[in-house]
A and B are shown apart, each in its own frame.
Chain A
């Protein structure tokens, strides 16, 4: 009798475990956790052995994982239902920022809502692809040219608001995530090429609209030595860090650039330089491979998604994730201008961690919920 009870207990635990994990993609989660561990290790070194910062980040990770779990357990039908409200709230908050936002570092990005300060542009990173996918899904059967125009407007308005804050980095990333939805929704090649041409042609206009500090970043990229104490300092120091790492790196906690405080923002946007200095080209190779594996898994999930809505969302999230990695590494290694973009899953900071894992939660939800077949 006793043993019978025991097996029953065992079954119950298994059942609970099953219900707990059935919407989690084990493969994806494993590699996400590997990357996070690497991130914590680099953070420990980057902060000069400050365990407090590592603890903070661990808390950020736990919070983000819980959110990911909640989203993964939400079906796409439910997510689709909240796409419009979330977008409208995000848009209202962005307008709120433009009117009553608080100014830090000369940019108006924060909105004080009584209990806490929030940065609505962060919410839009998820809300815009959701909204655009919802829109295309709604008009899927009767897609006309003017629907693309409608979708573009949904994208352009918030992007312009963010650009005005000014937050060029976030605006460009959000514009990219929206563009990916348009791309997967079948925007014709002629228009894409036309847009690229238009973009190239409007560069001088954009240059005219830029703030001084943004222009300086571009100029500095072309010739970092021109301003070694100001904006060029970041690029010079991070190039030295990466370059001096060589093939095998200087070893964990032994990067001189890092430990002697030459690197700026070494636990947030420039954490990749710390990694590169201490683990060398071998480390970089492994890191790129880890990211590629995660991206590969996301591509598989995207290719198998059943509805138009799921496909567009999954495709956009995957390519946006890649874009973050590319822009961050490109900036740290000196081939892109310095825009404040964190390295996904590695940089110190709760907000980007949460945004990333919400994205992965959506992918897991797409993959693990029963496929909805349209007849």
Chain B
């Protein structure tokens, strides 16, 4: 071991520091020599390269992939047209240039406003569109006056178009101009180069979620340009590769049928193929014209859409959460059988209300006086509340949460578009974490008939219905069925995605299914909607409460503000013996499931299974045996 001497060590350190200084000076000198070489010795060479024969790399933008429905109907397409574009850096006074241009090309105040907004968001050297889709006369008159407008050019561009607008806006979504946030995202994913010439990017819906497939690969053209930046000749060219086409599982005819069946009412419908999770129809009413967003939406239209009381931009099927109401009962009933809390033979007397032991509060059935003797089968057919109050009390919330969770309620379904919400299937742990409160027995009672804290999306309800229909197979719902390679035309099938299989005893499932068939037969809550059906039609009605009814009050539809009326719900599948379609439908503020929601399901099935096009909106079906369950 050697002991070190402090002063000598310091001396040594300073010598090394001196060596460091020499190291720095030498390397900086090397850099300086390099700068001198580039900027003095080679200046002429590089100036020539920069100024005279500049080689520019111009991006060649790929065509965006098209979107079709399952039968080849076009849902998103491209067209090319001439656009008038201005490069702000080359135009000294934009306002006066616009005024002069307006003499022979129509420029509306809306165009102007949008253009000024674009300038603020873009680089000064970028060419920006002021008018799209010029007509022949406009092109001709501009061509003769072109010399007066340096920096203004007519360019051929490819535009996106959604021919079916409102009908599929909540499925297809839209593309819009790339903004700073998109740029950050592209940079993070190292895709900035691939978007060099692109002006648009998918913002929502399939256009957003399948951006990678749809966009394609940007090509490059190496051109020699003169001092003014005009290209003299093309040196080499790498052609762009168009984006891939998407073939959806969506059936546009069915989508139209749903639209017709809804008429002007608000709501949502999701229909799945229970054999593979394909989405056959996906409607959120009202829709909106997604074409408005492509070039950047103007103020007027934006305010109209955004402030509308009907909230057309809200995707109710994917993001709307509603208490499932009585559509929750089949799942409760299966839980009772599977967990051994009830047998099919068990029956109870329904006095028209339920009370917890030692508590006065009465949880009332929707039917005053009750349904008499009720077994599990009847409880579903007539939608008896009391049966489920007592069942909920016996099961307990955590058993309910764990068992019904298998149906995907309160969870994201794994659909192939972004922004899905998870809803809520309450549990005691959830309430403790969220509200710092313990779970009360009373909470379970309202949860047992699908009210209380329960919140589900129409998509989740369709997913859960699919699992009843197919015997427990949880297929991830998906829009895109096939992807067509734009270059080879080759079609790749996307296989179904079986997330898991829930293990239910077939004989228990059979009990539930038989009851659901009887729901649509005489005596059931959806009897009218099921009348004379040419196939076996299984379903369950429900009512989703919007405002709470106080103890001792009765729900009176006529006295309540229209927007506070209950939502009608219905879940169904058909044909019951070998289901081809499973759906959930929600009609906002129209009261009960049997009278408004179930007839829509019937029309959808008639179209899908028999090919019958629905008549216009039909309100004549009114079922007087219908439940009004508002005692909760």
A binds B: yes
Interface residue ranges, A against B (CB under 8 Å): 47-50, 52, 104-106, 140-144, 180, 183-184, 186, 228-229, 233, 239-247, 256-257, 259-262, 276, 280-281, 284-285, 288, 292, 295, 299, 302-303, 308, 311, 315, 318-319, 322, 326, 329-330, 333-335, 374
* Nearest CB in chain A to that of B25: its residue: A292
Q: Is B34 an interface residue (CB 8 A)?
A: yes
With A229-B57, A245-B39 known to touch, is A240 a contact of B49 (CB < 8 Å)? yes
How distant is the Cα of A47 from the Cα of B326 in the complex, in angstroms? 59
Say yes or no for B490: interface residue by CB 8 A criterion: no
CB contacts (< 8 Å) of A140 on chain B: these are 4
* 16 further contact pairs, Cβ within 8 A, besides A144-B1, A240-B49: A104-B188, A106-B190, A142-B2, A142-B3, A143-B4, A183-B16, A184-B20, A228-B55, A242-B46, A243-B39, A243-B47, A260-B56, A284-B35, A288-B28, A303-B14, A330-B31
A243 touching B21 in the complex, CB below 8 Å, given contacts A276-B35, A333-B35: no
Q: CB-nearest residue of chain B relative to A268?
A: B187
Which of B6, B28, B51: most chain A Cβ within 10 A? B28
* B40 contacts partner chain A, Cβ-Cβ < 8 Å: yes
On B, residues with C-beta under 8 Å from A are: 1-4, 6, 9, 12-14, 16-17, 20-21, 23-24, 27-28, 30-32, 34-36, 38-40, 42-43, 45-47, 49-51, 54-57, 123-125, 180, 188-190, 220, 222, 229, 238
Complex alpha-carbon distance, A334 and B4, angstroms: 45
Which residues does chain A contribute within 8 Å of B20, judged by CB atoms? Answer: 180, 183-184, 299, 315, 318-319
Min CB gap A151→B, angstroms = 16
Closest to A374 in B: B6
Within the complex, the shortest CB–CB distance from B118 to chain A, in Å, comes to: 14
Q: How far is the CA of A299 from the CA of B16 in the complex (A)?
A: 11
- Other-chain contact of A244, B1, B35, B43 (Cβ < 8 Å): B43
Instruction: Give the CA-CA distance A245 to B1 in the complex, in Å.
Output: 59
> Contact: B47 with A142, CB < 8 Å?
no
Q: How far is the CB of A101 from chain B (nearest CB, A)?
A: 15
> Across the interface, which residues of B come within 8 angstroms of A315, CB to CB?
13, 16-17, 20
Contact A186 B16 (CB under 8 A): yes
A105 x B220 contact (CB < 8 A): no
Find chain A residues with CB under 8 A from B123 CB. 47-50
Residue of B nearest to A284 (CB): B35
Collect the chain A residues with CB atoms within 8 Å of residue B57's CB. Answer: 229, 233, 262
Is the pair A184, B16 in contact by a Cβ cutoff of 8 Å?
yes
Ranked nearest first, the 7 interchain pairs of A and B with the lowest CB-CB distance are A243-B46, A244-B50, A48-B123, A105-B190, A243-B38, A281-B39, A244-B46
A50-B123, A104-B189 known; A143 and B43 CB under 8 Å?
no
Residues of A contacting B188 with CB < 8 Å? 104
B338 to chain A, nearest CB (A): 37
Q: Write the chain B residue with the least CB distance to A287.
A: B35
Which of B12, B34, B38 has the most chain A CB within a 10 Å cutoff?
B38
Whether the pair A141, B4 counts as a contact (CB closer than 8 A) is yes
Q: Which chain A residue lies CB-closest to B19?
A: A183
B47 contacts A186, C-beta separation under 8 Å: no
Residue numbers in B under 8 Å from A334 (CB-CB)? 34
Q: Which residues of A contact B190 (CB under 8 A)?
A: 104-106
Chain A positions within 8 Å of B40 at CB level: 246-247, 281
Give A276 Cβ to nearest chain B Cβ, in Å. Answer: 7
CB-based contact B28/A292 at 8 Å: yes
Kindly report which residue of chain B lies nearest to residue A186, judged by CB atoms: B12
The contact sample of 16 A-B pairs, CB cut-off 8 A, is: A48-B123, A48-B125, A105-B189, A141-B4, A184-B17, A186-B9, A228-B222, A241-B50, A244-B47, A244-B50, A257-B50, A260-B56, A260-B125, A260-B229, A315-B17, A335-B34
Q: Return the chain B residue nearest A52 by Cβ.
A: B180
CA gap between A50 and B40 in the complex, in Å: 31
In whole angstroms, how far apart are the Cα atoms of A2 and B159 in the complex?
75
Q: Which residues of B contact A229 (CB under 8 A)?
A: 57, 220, 222, 238
The reply to whether B38 and A333 contact each other, CB–CB distance below 8 Å, is: yes
Contact partner, A299, options B13, B21, B47, B54, Cβ 8 Å:
B21
Q: Count of A-B contacts with CB under 8 A?
A: 136
Q: CA A212 – CA B43 in complex, angstroms?
A: 34
Asked whether A261 lies within 8 Å of B49 as measured between CB atoms, the reply is no
- Provide the bound-state CA to CA distance between A106 and B188, in Å: 11
* A322 surroundings in chain B (CB, below 8 A): 24, 27
Can you name the residue of chain A whose Cβ is closest to the Cβ of B229? A260
B134 to chain A, nearest CB (A): 27
Contact A262 B30, CB 8 Å, known A143-B2, A242-B35, A311-B13: no
Q: Is the CB of A284 within 8 A of B125?
A: no
Contacts of A280 in B (CB 8 A): 39
Chain B residue at smallest Cβ distance from A110: B188
Question: In the complex, what distance in Å separates the CA atom of A292 from the CA atom of B36?
Answer: 18
Q: How far is the CA of A259 from the CA of B56 in the complex (A)?
A: 13
A238 to chain B, nearest CB (A): 10
Most chain B beta-carbon contacts within 10 A, residue among A106, A140, A261, A276: A261
Complex contact B45–A243 (CB within 8 A): yes
A60 to chain B, nearest CB (A): 15
Q: Which listed residue, B24, B54, B229, touches A295 by the CB 8 Å rule?
A: B24
Specify which chain A residues have a CB less than 8 angstroms from the CB of B55 in the assembled complex: 228
A235 to B540, CA, bound (A): 68
Q: Which of A183, A239, A329 contacts B46 (CB 8 A)?
A: A239
| The one of A47, A256, A318 that contacts B50, using a Cβ cutoff of 8 Å | A256
A241 to B51 CA separation, bound complex (whole angstroms): 11
Q: Which of A142, A257, A259 contacts B125 (CB 8 A)?
A: A259
**Max chain B C-beta neighbours (<10 A), residue from A52, A241, A244, A302:** A244
Q: How far is the CB of A265 from chain B (nearest CB, A)?
A: 9
User: CA separation between A308 and B17, bound complex, in Å?
Assistant: 13
Query: Which residues from chain B contact A288 at a C-beta distance below 8 Å?
Result: 28, 31-32
CB pair A243–B34 under 8 Å, yes or no, is no
How many angstroms from the CA of A256 to the CA of B46 in the assembled complex?
12
Taking the closest CB of chain B, its distance from the CB of A351, in whole angstroms, is: 14
State whether B16 touches A240 (Cβ < 8 A). Answer: no
Please report the C-alpha to C-alpha distance between residue A51 and residue B54 in the assembled complex, in whole angstroms.
29
Q: State A240–B27 Cα separation when bound (angstroms).
A: 22
Whether the Cβ atoms of B50 and A240 lie closer than 8 Å is yes
Nearest-Cβ distance from residue B270 to partner chain A, whole angstroms: 32
Asked if A256 and B51 make an inter-chain contact with CB atoms under 8 angstroms apart, the answer reads yes
B13 and A144 form a contact (CB under 8 A): no
Q: How far is the CB of A150 from chain B (nearest CB, A)?
A: 15
Contact present for A243 and B3 (CB under 8 Å): no
- Look across to chain A and name the residue whose beta carbon is closest to the beta carbon of B123: A48
Q: Which of A244, A285, A330 contacts B51 (CB 8 A)?
A: A244
Measured between beta carbons, the chain A residues less than 8 angstroms from B46 are 239-240, 242-244
CA distance A303 to B11 in the complex (A): 10
CB distance from B267 to the nearest CB of A (A): 38
B-side contacts of A240, CB under 8 Å: 46, 49-50
Check A244 against B49 for contact (C-beta < 8 Å): yes
Q: In the complex, are the beta carbons of A184 and B13 less than 8 A apart?
A: yes
Which residues in A have their C-beta under 8 angstroms from that of B1?
142, 144
Query: Distance in Å from the Cβ of A315 to the closest Cβ of chain B?
Result: 6
Find chain A residues with CB under 8 A from B3 CB: 141-142
B43 near A329 with CB under 8 A, answer no
A322 to chain B: closest residue by CB: B24
Give CA–CA (A329, B31) in the complex, Å. Answer: 7
Which residue of chain A has the shortest Cβ distance to B42 in the bound complex? A243
Residues of chain A contacted by B39 (CB below 8 angstroms):
242-243, 245-247, 276, 280-281, 284
Residues of A within 8 A of B27 (CB): 322, 326
Distance in angstroms from B379 CB to nearest chain A CB is 45
CB distance from B556 to the nearest CB of A (A): 50
Query: What's the minimum C-beta distance from B176 to chain A, rounded to whole angstroms?
Result: 19
Q: In the bound complex, what is the Cα–Cα distance between A49 and B238 (angstroms)?
A: 31
The answer for the CA separation of A104 and B36 in the assembled complex, in Å, is 38
Residues on the B chain within 8 Å of A244, using CB: 43, 46-47, 49-51
What's the Cα separation between A46 and B423 when bound, in Å?
A: 46
